[in-house]
Each structure stands twice: as structure tokens, then as C-alpha cells.
Structure 1
């Protein structure tokens, strides 16, 4: 059987399994009217005019008092349409003004904004470090600090709802939004989510956490243009994997953090759109007791009105929407209620869910007021620098080169990433303009002082689009300068459709559809550009291709890079040694099919929509300058970065551009080379054994300079540990096959379809452990500047017989303070079919010089349960539980075993 045939067979087999694990989806979820059928005790005092303003009543009763003021269906729908999460997704700017029934009752409008990494609109704000930095800290206090800063800046901007944070699980390194989330482990994600959302809640900001649920790629998430009109990917996943891997972060945010909103995601989950998935909503609202509302991600995530409302969607578009083609032929919600298809109790439930969290968080009693146009403060940026350091991971430190000592009298700083040109923020919805950005180079120079010479060399042209091609060096097949463009009536890179026309262009750049007769609309076409390039000089030539949709660059007949299904934007970087006067063929294949719009636009820190830019730069001496600077210095510090973010799943595990080449050349010139990485997740390191130190600092935001200078000179401690496994190569880890990620492609339509999550619960280090794969760096790994010993003193059942207690002692044996992150992994009884090891406890502890400290890691029995697919319930198994304490998932310092008898496991 062919690989494709095997994939389709696997899809069918897993689909059958899912049909056994999931009952047939009911049209109406059990949670659809949960609030509307309660509340008999909510009785206002006689004569009380506006009881919803009386804080003595519960949030639920206050919400019911407001609901009681809406006498008609129209008033309820006006409320639902006028109080969205800061985005009136169904509004027409030319529509006449309608009643604001909320304001008539004195209820203020509460604005919302994106904000996983800081406030994105409404005021100038602090560009916070990427959320993955928080996860890397392994410290809930850091997550809480992050949440407090967000809450303060949102409220100072007059904004009360954050569209985020994101608690998606990194299924593998390809996920473009990995750095927007909290890594690969559900337990770590849950602990961080509880702390972060709890701080936001205490700070009076309603969190609309995302993306619920099983969201681990952007490819195929939106469908064709117009938005919402085409099919989206279908994630086929077992209920056990959903429960154990993809949902714990959301549960913690609800149960322990007090989240008030949930953003349902784009894809289908086992054939059902996430925003109309009764089972997902029942888990959320019934099992977890969620009192808030569910709204769609960008409008096209909502694919129906009646079906979605009956399933449990509470916020969205309730009629034809200018933003969402999927709703063009849907019956308006008002008509569905009048026709008896949607009960009034469901509408009441929707109204209550929009009100209750606003009363619970005090947003109506103490609404956020805009206090400044710039809500960032020096204190916030200083705290951001602390967070960066807490999540910075020291991956290598051969010879103790870091921190830099008094023997270092000269430093060569290399790479544009050390300057104002650095990429320090994630693209897409987490984008915050780094308005207060402090680059690394001046911060290092200032910290080094007068006695240390600091030089700089760029070494590379960075990650921006290269200049447009010089048409004098490019010739179309007929000899004219430029490229031959051939346009096809098919939206794929196979060019199976009719050839509609051709032309010669000087530059294969696009900002809208070309004026070609018969060219299909809605981005449903493709183009092939061909040229013959004659280099003017010998040496390394750089080529770039930035754009959206799908594109492939061919150089001299070889595939030089590909991106696919990029609805926002992506980039290809190619470096080729060429000889002057010896021509090579250049080809660019492109279709804008997946692009979110039909024209180019600047947004979210990138160009998006229908856009394509081809760039070229000839040989230069940048690398030679960097090598010379490195050779003349005591230490060379190379800064490397990565373009990554929403809508741009990663293409390659290698660093973009010619950064690997730069690092290797510098390391050959100076063995005391330090590499500072600003990436969105794991990267390959072919130069690892040749450099002295590697410091991973993710995307750091505004406070990069002070944080990295402090880390390099030892004023700060790299407190982070890896929240994701770094594979040794792209073949390692889960979901490495196309049928798993991004999924199977429909042979007729070319659309992405089923993506098989057949790795089940074996995600991240769980997969590496089960498959016996040796990663480049394991989950939880990270070095300290200090030498801190860990030893286990005892392990056993807690005194109340409700948990496992592991008592340990940590001793700092070095002459400087440092951070230890003990991690407790548990292996469940074999009968459970669980991964070999799972993180179940950790701590981030700072120890002073010579300090010794006792600490107990407690694992409640509830954390040891597994999802029993046969009975469809959580179960605590009897038997032997293996315990492993260590500094990472692969670095144990102690192993033990505890047996749970039947009488305990039945509790």
C-alpha cells in the first residue's frame, strides 16, 4: 500500500476508534441552559429600584436582575449583539444606530484587546517576553507577575478583557504559535495557567483564554476566501488525549484561575467544528462549572448560528456577517428563536453568561478607565527583565565561560539581533510594537564599562526581506529582463488548471491579484515565475521569499524552500554558492489560496493578505568582518533570531537565513563563542560542540538589553528550564508525518482535511521516552551558574492519605547564589497504558551562597488519575507508581517506588 493509502487507512481506523470513544453528538449540549434553569433564590428586596448595583447579592443574582429588565427577545439580542468581547464581529459600520440596552441600565461597555504578550491596541504598552518564557521559568510566581503586569496595563488603557492567554499544547516544534503558549506539558501548562489567570482575575481583567481546544497548527485553520467559506482541518484525536494532554490548562484556568471567557478555535475536532462542539462545551460548563461565555476566534471560526448556539456558543455573529461568509445563508438567531428552533432559555443562558463574570470580577462596579496613552512604566519593564532572566535557559557552558569574568577585556558582539533591528516580538495577534525596546549592544557596552572594549559586526543581513531583484541579472526565457509569469486557473502548486496567460515582469512581487482575463477570484489561482539568473560576482548569494499562501523557491533545479497554507505570512531563506558568469535557473511557484485577504496589508508586525516579495543579495564581506572581530576579541557573543508567530507554522528546524553559517565561522575563529538565541521554540544546532555557551532567551520584548547584559555578566541568574524538548533532528518527536501534521490533503479540492493525532497521549518528552529517542536537549533541561545538589530524604503517602510526598534537600555548594528546579516525574502502573514518565511536581528555588533548604513536592492523588477510555471516566489505578526526581526529564538524581493499594485507588 502506498504511503497515502496507509494514511487514509489510518484515518479510517482512528475515526472508528473515535466513534467508540465519543457518543454521537447531540444537537443541544447538556450545558446549553445551565444558568437559565437555576436562580430561584434570587429575590430582590421590595422596592429596590436597581438591585443589580447592590454588591450584597451574588454575581449570579445581580445578573438575573439585569436579565429581568429585558422584556423582549429583541432586547436580549440587542444586549448579546452590543456587548461582545471588545470586537463587534457582526457589525456593519454603515448600519443605523440601535438601542444600547446595557447602557440604558447603566452597565458600561467593557473593551477588549489581544494580549498574550502585552496589550496590542488602545495604548502604547510594554512588549512583554513571549509567554513561552513564563513556562520556561517553571515558577507560578513568575506567571502571576506576568498576569499582574498585563492586568495593570490593560486597565490603565481602559480595557477590561484580554483575548488570551493561549494554553495550547505544543504537539511538536512546527507549531508557529508555540511561543505564544506554555510548551508541551499539560501539567506545567496548568500550573502556569492557574497562576496567570488568577492574577489577571484579581487585577480586574476578564480572561478569554484560547484556543479551545486541540489547536496545534495554523495550517488549514481558516478555509478559503471569503473568510469562512471553505473547509478547515479536522483533528482526529482520542478522548483520552484530549482529556490528559489538551484540556488540563483550560481546566486549571477555570477552576483555579477564575477565567470568565473562552475562545473556541478554528478546526474541526473529530468532525465537529470546535465552536459548535457540544461535548467540549459540556466539559467546560458542566464538569468544570464555568460561569462565563464562549466566543469564536476570528469570526470565521463560527460556522453556523442555530447549531452553534444550541451547542453552547454564547458570543458571536447572530445574522449575516460582513466578516464571515459561512453565515451568509444562515437563519438569523431572532428567527430561529421565533420559529422554536432555539429555546428562549438558551438565550437567557447566553445573557447570564455574559453578565455573571463581569459582576464577579467587579468590572461593572469598577470599570477600567483610560488613564494614559502610554501605559508602560519603568517598573513594568524592570519586572519584564526579571521575567526574561527567570525564563532564560542556559543550554551549554563549556569551561564556565559564562558569566563573563574580569579576565574578559574585549567582547565582539555579532549579529543584527543585538541591535535595533532585532526581532523580539511574536508576529500575529501577540504582536506588541516594541516602543520601549532596549537593544543588547548598548546595554552590553554600558555594563562592560570603560575597561572592556566592545566591538560590533553584523555578520549577516538579518531576517528582513532582501532588496528586490536587479532585473539586469535576471532574464525571462525569451531573453527579456525579469521573470516570465504564467498564470493558472488552479489554486495549488501542481498547476493542474488551465493556463490563462503569461507576461514578463521585472519583479515577482504581488500585493493583489494581477489583471489577467479569466483569473479566478477569492485567491483561487496560481502563478509560476521562471528566470535565468547570471551572478555578477562569485560567492554566497542570498535569496528570500516572504509572503502568504503557499510558495516554493527553486534554485538551479533544486527545492530551496517551501511554505504552505500560511494565512498570515511566512518566509523562505536560501543561501547558495554561485560562480560569476555561470547562470542558474530560478523558479518561484505561488498560490495565494490560504491568504486571509485578497490584498496586501500591514498588520500584526508583518505583511499579510495576498502578498509576495522576492529578494536577492549578492556576496559581501559581512561574514569576514564578523570573523575578524571575533578573532580579535577575548569572547565573541553571537545573537541569532527567528521570525515566527501566528499563521506561520515553521518550515525548518534550522535557524533562518545564514545564521548557522555565521555561528560556525565565528566559533572557528574564537573558541570562547557565546550564542544567544531568540527563537520561538527548538532549533537545530549543528555548531553546538564548537561553541562555548548557548543561552536561549526566546522572544524577549522590550527589556532584552538589560536582561541579556545582566545574564552575560552574572548580575542575573538564568533561571529557566526547557518547556519543550529540543529534537536532535526533524525526524524526532510526535507528528513528523504529513498525515499527522498538517494533515491529509483532499485529492480533488486540495484542501487540508484529516490530521491524525495517532500519537495519542505520547506528546513531547512522552513520545521521546516511549520511542527511545535521544533529543538534543530534553524537556526540563537547563544549567545554572551555581552548583546546587539535590537529594531525596523520604518519599511516601501524605499524612492524610490524599497525596504522595517527596521530601528533598537542596544545597548550594558554590560561591554564588543560584536557582534549582527539582522536577518530579511519575510512571503510572503499566496497566494504564500511560507514557513512561510524566511531570507531576516541580519547584523553582533560589538558594544563597552555601544555603541548604528542605522542600516537599506534593502530588495529590487527583494528579495521578488517567482517563479510562472503556468507562469514559477518570480513574486512579492501584499498583506500583515509579518516582523519579531530577533536573530534567532525562537527568534523574533519585528513583523510587510507591504502591497504592486498592482501597486508596478506589477513592
Structure 2
């Protein structure tokens, strides 16, 4: 991309964000040119043995099976790469993940602050809040002695059944890229490295090491890759973590097109590519663009140690590649200041302050999906029945490598099955933040009772006896497994329908990893989507229920009415026999192809618009306890301006959404800009957005192309509910990345 276009893109993402705290718009001062030059000088001083120190590392955890000796300075966590003391290069000490410092099954015997799930964060549509959350979890990683946080999950949701949907952000590349960039900036403000992951097109957990993604380059560039591109531009992550899946027949961590041609070539990325754990197929991955082999004991062999050294000694091409690998790792170390500001474990972490950040994220991410006037609840209520979801004890969290828990571990653990340490890795767990306690604290005079929901008759009887019934419904998801469908498990759909029939004032609180169907929707008085709400989820939920917080979340994902509306109604690989945790089949062929060319770049709401299908809830949907009006849209060139007014009776926040709806006579549906606006009752604000030209363009013939013609835009309450169209004529334009 030309320098002019890069400046325009940077301006667009800064203005689109529309935050009030300028910290979110200021990436850490990173002089990549100086860091790269310093790295090159250090590489020249390295011996042959030293050149394979930074290229591979272990997972320093006693997880059964062959475990390499764990160095004395390693911390129980995701990864460890020794430093080079002679050259002043620090060891890399790595921890999962985007939601906080990983719990690692309690091995460290400590706690950390859990942010709400990625989709909950994205539902805030607030880059400043993403920055604050990233800064918080980055500070805790640093305080625990880690200097690399394996965060920055930004894969688009192509299938709502994906077990890792909760870790990621959204289905739209612009929203995802801006938000992940802000989170990465926050993390790296602590002088530690953040990744962005999983590169790329990592859309499901079923057969995750075998599934081969089929997609055209143009469709990939306009969707998943654009999310990564914007995130890298905005966040400047020190590392990119590649994915488990295959793309065009090659493993993502040994994929020349992804790593060399796109990431390092087209985008000019100067940091390093680390593998996912157990994702390196062979030594040739180095030539394909992989710079570092992590969790090496999970791979067939240690490829980037002595084997790599021998290759470099025998072949100048391998020697040059090894030098480049080291230069990239060192560039990230120097740019992030790991050597200048070494991490030291802290004596104390301010969990109260950090919990307040997590609670604010939860409050802004909760989405009010339906309200017939029952919400907000009155604090004068005399009797409230709370049903299901372990709501007396805590709030649900997603499982896998991103699992975080506070001091003392989970409030509730529900075994899923299996044996050994991996059974704990994917156990269903709940944070110690009781919604019931928080509800009782606000409704001080109410008789608040709990039923676990196992017996529908018992729950119905309690609902009949109460003024209000609140059903907490959960959908547990995890890394390593996809959900078979979008129903609520354990008979919860039947439970909700029965409770709603017994009490017309039934409110449903959803704690889910992503979209779910709601066959009972027309029977209940209100629905809020709380996602996995993190360390302070209980108070956040209660605050929204009783109106202390005016809900302002907007869906970052489309909620389909049924699986039949999806590009792939049947999940690819779902008919495999007993897939194991690694994502492979226990029997049969390892050939599994997922055809993303079905929807191409029309992911999520774009697919629904193309098909003319009506979802259960559209992308961008969210209600408030007040009302807003966006009007007076004007578009001149790549600048859009309009006014947002709070037309209700109380303060609240709206998310103004600008959509491209037609381009040169061709129907389109693309989010072109957004801004979160907080307004007092009756107040209004003028908004100006600069549109990223890539949102208007197609990727063709190795570059971006905007055809000449009329471009039609509209303001939307969501991707379906659009205002009056406004047209602007734009000239043809082509450019490279």
C-alpha cells in the first residue's frame, strides 16, 4: 500500500473508533527501523550455537508424557525460550492468553483477573475499553514474571459452532481489526510482547490439525486476512502465531503463501512468526516462513534446534534464513523493550482495581436482546426466583488454554470426562462471582431463592411463587471441541419454556460462548446476553438487570434462526468417529476440506444480506433503556458525517453504525465505520468518520480495486435496520498493500 493510503487507513481507524480517551489512539512509541538495525548487529555477534537458542522452546509444564528438563528460571506457563546472557538477550517467558493470565489447571497456585470472553469485549464496540483491558492483563502477566502474552485472537466467526468463538471477537474484519489492535497496544504498553493469532482462517476445532481450508485469495484478503492486517497496523504486535489448520493443502505454520508472501512480503511485517503448540510438521517450515517452534515436545521432533543448525552449516540459503529468524525475534524483543525493562515478579497485584476494569468490560459488553418493558427490574421487588446456571455460585467461563481464574480457583467445576491433566484442561468451570449475591445486594428487601433447574417441576413451582423469575442459561464451549448445534444443552430450552409459562415476568440471562437458538423467545419478558462475563460478572449482570447500568452492548456476531441458514448447515468433519483433543480422527481418512468459497468474503451478516435471510438477531443489534436517533448523514469522498441524539429520558451509550449498501449498482452489505457515543438525555453529538478504502474495494490481480460509480451508504441500528440511503460518486482506484 502506498504511503498516502497507509496514512488514510490510519486516520480512518482512529476516527472510526470514536473514543474519548486518547490513550487508546496512541500506540507505544516503537522505532521498528532502529530495533531492526540493532537486531541485525546482534545477529552478527552470535555463534552457530547461539543462533538456535531463540528459534525453539518448550512448554514448561508437567503435563504427563515426555517433559524436557525445566530450567530454574522458567515459570509454569505456556512456553519458555532461554536467553543469551552474553549478548544481553532475555529469556522469553510466555503465558496464555487474550482473556488474562492462564490458570494452567492451578499448577502455579496463584490467581489472575479474568476479562470477559473475547466476544463480550467486542460487544462493547469500544477500542478504548479494549486498550484498558489489554493494559490490565498485560500488567498482570508482567507482575507474574512473563514477558510474552499469547493474546490477540482475531479469527472471524465463520461458524457459530466453533468451540473457540468465545476467544475471538467478531465476524466483521473492520470491527475485529480495530478492537484487537487496541487490545494489543494495551498489552504492549507494559513493555512485553503480544501476539496476534491464529494466522489464519482457523474457523473450527473439529479436525483442527487436518481441516484444509479452500478459499480464493480475494475472499481471504477481504475478510479474515483484512482483520489481521488492520490489527497488525493498529497494534504492532511483536509476534504472529500461526494456526493448526491447513490452507490450500499446506499447514498454516508451514504455509509459504500465508507467511512469506502475504505477512512478510505484502504487508512488510518485521516481527516473528511463532508456531502454535504442536503445529510444526517438519523442518521445511522454516523456509516457508516460520521463525520459532514452540511447545516443541508436542511436535514429531525438535526441528529448529540441532537439525536447523546443521542445515545452516551446510547451505548458505539455510544460513541466511536462520539469520533472518533470529533478527526477527530480536527485533520484537528490542522494539517491545524486553531487554531495557526486564520483568520481575511483583509482590502484590491490585486485584480490586483490575477487577473494576473487568467489571466495566462486562457491563459494556452485555447485550439487551429483548425487553417487553419488564427491564430494568424494580429494586422494590418482594420475591425473585433465580433458576439454573450455577448462578448461586458463579459465572461460566470458556475452557482450554485461555482459561483464567482468580485466587482460590473456580467456584464450581463440572467434569466433562476423560482422564489425566487434559480432563482438567477442558473441565466446565465458573468464576467466583455470584449473580445471586449481587442481585440480593441490589434488591435488599426481596426474598431471593435459588433452584438449580435439574427438575423442571421444582423450578416451575418456585417461579409461580415469585414476582420475577430469572433463568440463567449456559452454553459451555472449549478449545478442542465444537458444539454440535446451537441449542442450549441439558434441557435448558424446555426449562425456560416451562418457567415462562408459569411466570409472565421471566427474564433469561444467557451465558454463552456465541450464538444460540431461542425457541422460547416469544414467551419470555426479556433476554440479556451476558456471554462469559469474567471475574466480576455477577455484579455486572445485576447492574444491568436493575438499571444501574444502561445496557449498551451490540452484537458482534449474527445469531442465526437455525443451522440451516449457515453456509455449511452441517459442520465439516462432524461425522468423524471419536475425534481426539488434537483435532485428528481416531480412525479413517485424515482428508477433511472446508469450502470457504461458499460464502467467500461474505461472512456473517454479509452472508445473510446476500441470501436475503432473516436471522434471529442481526449483527449490531442491541437495545437500551433509552432511545437514540442517528440522522443527517452526509458523505463526501471517504468522509461521512451525521448526528446522534439521545431521544430518551436517561443517559446511555449508542453505537452508531455506517454500512455500505450498494456499490456501482451492485448490492453490498459491509460495515464501513462505527462510533460509540455516550449521551445525556436529550443531548446530541456530531460524528465524523473516515472510511477505510479497503472496505469498499475488492482484491483483484494482486491488489485492491475500487470501481468508479455511485456508492450508497446508510446508518443502521444494526446490519438489518437501515436508515435513508445516501449516495456519493467515487472515482476508480487501484493500489497495492
Report TM bin, short chain. Answer: 0.7 to 0.9
Task: State the match for 2:539 in structure 1.
Answer: 706
TM-score, length of structure 1 as denominator length = 0.69
TM-score between the two structures when normalised by the length of structure 2: 0.84
Question: Matches of residues 313-392 of structure 1 in structure 2 within 5 Å?
Answer: 313-316=290-293, 322-325=297-300, 332-340=307-315, 342-372=317-347, 375=349, 377-392=351-366
Structure 1 residues 452, 419: CA separation in 2 closer, same or farther (over 3 Å shift)? closer
The residue aligned with 1:116 is 98
Mark the CA change 1:860 to 1:217 in structure 2 (over 3 Å): closer, same or farther. closer
Q: Which of 632, 636, 657 lines up with 1:823 in the alignment?
A: 657
Deviation digits for residues 271-294 of structure 1 (CA, Å, limit 9, x no counterpart): 111111111112111222222111
Which of 418, 435, 445 lines up with 2:391 in the alignment? 418
2:12 aligned partner: none
Please say if residues 86 and 113 of structure 1, whose CA atoms lie closer than 8 Å, have aligned partners that are also in contact.
no
CA contact (8 A) 1:824 1:886 kept: yes
Whether 2:268 is the aligned partner of 1:268: answer: no
Query: 2: distance between equivalents of 1:119 and 1:763?
Result: 31
After superposition, what is the alpha-carbon deviation per residue over 1:386-442, rounded to whole angstroms, capped at 9, x for unaligned? 1011111100001x211112563321111143122x452110011012447221001
Judge conservation of contact 1:85–1:111 (CA < 8 Å) in 2.
no
The residue that corresponds to 1:564 in the other structure is: none
Aligned pairs, number? 662
Using the TM superposition, give the Cα deviation of residue 740 of structure 1 relative to its aligned residue in structure 2, in angstroms.
8.5
Alignment match, 1:850: 682
Alignment partners' CA distance in 1, 2:339 and 2:303: 34
Residues 795-846 of structure 1: CA deviation (Å, up to 9, x unaligned): 222xxxxx232x2222222221111111111035258x7x720011011111
Shift of 1:746: 10
Q: Deviations over 1:467-519 (max 9, x none)?
A: xxxxxxxxxxxxxxxxxxxxxxxxxxxxxxxxxxxxxxxxxxxxxxxxxxxxx
Provide closer, same or farther for how the CA distance between residues 332 and 110 of structure 1 changes in structure 2, counting only shifts above 3 A: closer
Is structure 2 residue 80 aligned with structure 1 residue 104? no
Shift of 1:359: 0.8
Q: Does the CA contact (< 8 Å) of 1:336 and 1:342 recur in 2? A: no
SS at match of 2:45: coil
Match of 2:414 in 1: none
Relative distance call for 1:389 and 1:767 in structure 2 (3 A) is same
d(CA) in 1 for partners of 2:173 and 2:154?
9
The CA distance in 2 between the partners of 1:623 and 1:747, in whole Å, is 38
Which residue of the partner structure matches residue 291 of structure 1?
270
Partner in structure 2 of residue 877 of structure 1: 707
User: Which of 727, 731, 734 is matched with 2:560 structurally?
Assistant: 727
C-alpha change, 1:818 and 1:100, in structure 2 (3 Å) is closer
Tell me: higher relative CO, structure 1 or 2? Use CA pairs within 8 A at least 6 residues apart: 2
Q: Structure 2 residue aligned with 1:186, among 173, 184, 209?
A: 173
SS of 2:499's equivalent? helix
DSSP 3-state at the match of 1:736: coil
- Which residue matches 1:813? 647
Question: Which of 27, 31, 45 is residue 69 of structure 1 equivalent to?
Answer: 45
Q: Determine helix, strand or coil for the equivalent of 1:701.
A: coil
Contact kept, 8 Å, 1:423 with 1:642, in 2: the verdict is no
Superposed displacement of residue 906, structure 1: 7.8
Q: Tell me by how many angstroms 1:356 deviates.
A: 0.8
Matched residue of 1:256: which SS? helix
Cross-structure match for 1:661: 494
Alignment match of 1:681 (pick from 514, 522, 535): 514
Q: Which segment drifts farther, 194-203 or 637-646?
A: 194-203
Work out which of the residue numbers 639, 664, 668 in structure 2 matches 1:804.
639
* Correspondence 1:886 to 2:716: yes
C-alpha RMSD of the superposition: 3.0
Once residues 270 and 429 of structure 1 are traced to their aligned partners in structure 2, the CA distance between those partners, rounded to angstroms, is 27
Q: Which structure shows the bigger proportion of residues in helix conformation?
A: 2
1:905 and 1:361, CA in 2 relative to 1: closer, same or farther beyond 3 A?
A: closer
Out of 465, 481, 485, the residue aligned to residue 652 of structure 1 is 485
CA distance in 1, matches of 2:141, 2:172: 29
Alignment of 1:670-819 (within 5 A): 670-738=503-571, 749-759=588-598, 760-797=600-637, 803-805=638-640, 807-819=641-653
Residues 126 and 375, structure 1, Cα contact 8 Å, conserved in 2 = no
Larger mean CA deviation between 244-253 and 329-338 belongs to 329-338
CA distance in 2, matches of 1:322, 1:704: 37
User: Following the alignment from structure 2 to structure 1, what is the Cα–Cα distance between the partners of residues 297 and 54?
Assistant: 20
Which SS does the other structure have where 1:892 is aligned?
Answer: coil
Secondary structure of 1:640's counterpart equals strand
**Structure 1: gaps spanning 5 or more residues:** 1-54, 223-231, 461-621, 798-802
Out of 651, 669, 676, the position equivalent to 1:837 is 669
- Work out whether residues 169 and 183 of structure 1, in 8 Å CA contact, stay in contact via their aligned partners in 2: yes
> Which residue does the alignment assign to 1:589?
none
The answer to whether the 8 A contact 2:211-2:591 is kept is: yes
> Alpha carbons of 1:292 and 1:741: their partners in 2 closer, same or farther (altered >3 Å)?
farther
Question: In structure 2, how many angstroms separate the alpha carbons of the residues matched to 1:825 and 1:140?
Answer: 19
Q: Post-superposition shift, 1:747?
A: 14
Query: Please, which moves more after superposition, 239-248 or 341-350?
Result: 341-350
Whether contact under 8 Å (1:394, 1:784) holds in the other structure is yes
Secondary structure, counterpart of 1:104 in structure 2: helix
User: Residues 142-157 of structure 1 correspond to what in structure 2 (within 5 A)?
Assistant: 142-157=129-144
